[in-house]
Structure 1
Amino acid sequence: MPTLRYFAAAAEAAGTAQETVIGADVAGVLADAVDRHGPRLAHVVAHSSLLLDGRYVQDRNVSLAEGDVLDVLPPFAGG
């Protein structure tokens, strides 16, 4: 199963830093996470960058495989 990792505001909204998920693609995994964790996570995810196994992913229809790691990185303040 893929692993979904949350950082900063995403971890706060989800109430966890990491969870194992079931899903065929990025969109499905994120939709399931939002269903479980609520609208606050939906807001964060909508403004976040996504990394799949360390590589930026923009297409949410990308398939996920056993052992994949999807990171949710909200915008960070600072400079």
Structure 2
Amino acid sequence: MRIRYFAAAAQAAGITEERLDIHELPGAPGMTATASTTLGTVLEHLAARTPATAPVSDGPLLRRTTSLGTVLTRCSFLVNGVSEQDHARALRPGDELDVLPPFAGG
């Protein structure tokens, strides 16, 4: 599936877009991964693999960042262009997920 990150979500993820093979995510007991892959499963996976620190580009130091897990708790999501709030919604390999943090401004 294709995942696109916007604004603060892109900053926390360190990328603006990625592909995720949902076949590689753990499934519920007795189910294949794709049969039980939900929006919540994908969000948990994304949050768990993204650290709250990032390397400073010009040296060996780490700087603290807002973790993707923290940002995800404030985000809205579009699945195939349609707003989705239900974390139990099943996802399929060809789906597109847009991660939209709150926007400000006018």
**TM-score normalised by length of structure 2:** 0.69
Q: Which residue of 2 aligns with 1:50?
A: 77
1:71 matches 2:98: yes
Count of residue pairs brought into register by the alignment: 78
Q: Which residue of 2 aligns with 1:31?
A: 44
**Higher-Rg member (1/2):** 2
Q: Secondary structure at the match of 1:16?
A: coil
Instruction: Give, in angstroms, the shift of residue 37 of structure 1.
Output: 0.9
Instruction: Give, in angstroms, the shift of residue 25 of structure 1.
Output: 1.1
> Which sections of structure 2, spanning at least 5 residues, go unmatched?
26-36, 53-66
| Higher relative contact order structure (alpha carbons within 8 Å, sequence separation ≥ 6) | 1
Instruction: For 1:3-42, list aligned pairs within 5 A.
Output: 3-21=2-20, 22=22, 23=25, 24-39=37-52, 40-42=67-69
Percent of residue pairs identical: 45
> Which sections of structure 1, spanning at least 5 residues, go unmatched?
none
Root mean square deviation of aligned Cα: 1.1
Instruction: Give, in angstroms, the shift of residue 66 of structure 1.
Output: 2.0
Compare the two structures and name the one with the higher helix fraction.
1
Q: Which residue of 2 aligns with 1:61?
A: 88
Instruction: Give, in angstroms, the shift of residue 52 of structure 1.
Output: 0.3
Letter in 2 for 1:67: G
Distance in 2 (alpha carbons) for counterparts of 1:57 and 1:9:
19
Letter in 1 for 2:88: N
Instruction: Give, in angstroms, the shift of residue 38 of structure 1.
Output: 3.0
